[in-house]
Amino acid sequence: MEESKTKRKTVMSGAMQQFCDVQSCVEVSAKTFLLRFISPEIAASAQPGQFVNVLAAETGEGPLLRRPFSISRIDGDIVELLFHAIGKGTILLSRKRNGESIDVLGPLGQPFRIDTDYNTALIIAGGIGVAPFPFLTSSLQNLGKRLETFLGYRNDKQIVTSHLKNVHIATDDGSKGFHGNVVQLVEPFIDQKDLGKVKIFACGPTVMLKALSELAKRNNICCEVSLEGHMACGVGLCQGCPVERTGDGAKYALVCKDGPIFLTTDVIL
Ligand SMILES: Cc1cc2nc3c(=O)[nH]c(=O)nc-3n(C[C@H](O)[C@H](O)[C@H](O)COP(=O)(O)OP(=O)(O)OC[C@H]3O[C@@H](n4cnc5c(N)ncnc54)[C@H](O)[C@@H]3O)c2cc1C
Ligand code: FES
CA 122 to CA 183: how far, in whole Å?
12
Atom of ligand 1 nearest to the CA of 56: 25
84 lines ligand 1 (CB under 6 A): yes
Question: What ligand has the least distance to the C-alpha of 235?
Answer: 2
Q: CATH 2.40.30.10 spans which residues of the chain?
A: 16-108
Neighbours of 69 (CB within 10 A): 25
The CATH architecture assigned to 113-225 reads 3-Layer(aba) Sandwich (3.40)
The yes/no answer on whether domain 16-108 falls in CATH 2.40.40.20 is no
Atom of ligand 2 nearest to the CA of 256: 4
* pLDDT tens sequence for the chain (269 residues): 333 333 334 445 568 899 999 999 999 999 999 999 999 999 999 999 999 999 987 776 767 789 999 999 999 999 999 999 999 999 999 999 999 999 999 999 999 999 999 999 999 999 999 999 999 999 999 999 999 999 999 999 999 999 999 999 999 999 999 999 999 999 999 987 688 999 999 999 999 999 999 999 999 999 999 998 889 899 999 999 999 999 888 899 999 999 999 999 999 99
pTM of the predicted model as reported, rounded to 2 decimal places:
0.94
Name the amino acid, one letter, at 86: I
- What superfamily in CATH does domain 227-269 come from? Dihydroorotate dehydrogenase, electron transfer subunit (2.10.240.10)
Q: CATH 2.10.240.10 spans which residues of the chain?
A: 227-269
Is 101 in contact with 5 (CB distance < 8 Å)? yes
CA 38 to CA 46: how far, in whole Å?
13
Q: CATH 3.40.50.80 spans which residues of the chain?
A: 113-225
Nearest to 126 by CA among 37, 240, 211: 211
DSSP E strands in 144-258: the ranges are: 146-153, 167-171, 178-179, 198-203, 222-226, 242-244, 252-254
